[in-house]
Amino acid sequence: EADTTLFLVRDAAGADIGYAWLRRSREAPPAGVVGRRPFEIARFYVDEAWHGRGVAQAMMAACVEAARAGAADVLWLATWQPATRPQAFYRRMGFEVVGTTTFQYGDVLEDDVLLARRLDA
């Protein structure tokens, strides 16, 4: 099965205010992410001016809906360990910490937190 990529964009008065990038890949997810049909949120971004206005919640609901429509049984993502505000948001959206991983950013190896949310319940 080929990789699947989906972009979801919200805008207000013609201005882009956030996006999410979901993908289903042939590759296995990182250890800790348990599922037979995982979808990854590879990117999730809301412009700071729109924080606290419900945009992120609406985008996450659309991500969950799109993953379920793609027959996913788990939705997962990785986020930078020091980014506590996004981690708190993801936990409010039903994600749980399932492990850690590393991410290469230029010459620096960063530590990321892995979060996952079951979708088959």
The residues near 36 (Cβ < 8 Å, ≥ 6 apart) are 73
Q: Identify each DSSP E strand in the chain by its residue range.
A: 4-12, 15-24, 38-46, 74-80, 96-105, 108-118
What is the average pLDDT value for the chain, to the nearest integer? 88
Residue 58 tokens read as: 């609406």
Model pLDDT, residue 14 = 76
Q: What is the dihedral of CA 105, 106, 107, 108, to 10 degrees?
A: -20
Model confidence band, residue 120 (pLDDT cutoffs 50, 70, 90): confident
Residue 26 tokens read as: 């042939």
Tell me the pTM.
0.87
In tens, the pLDDT along 36-92 reads: 999 999 999 998 988 898 889 988 998 999 999 989 999 999 999 999 999 999 999
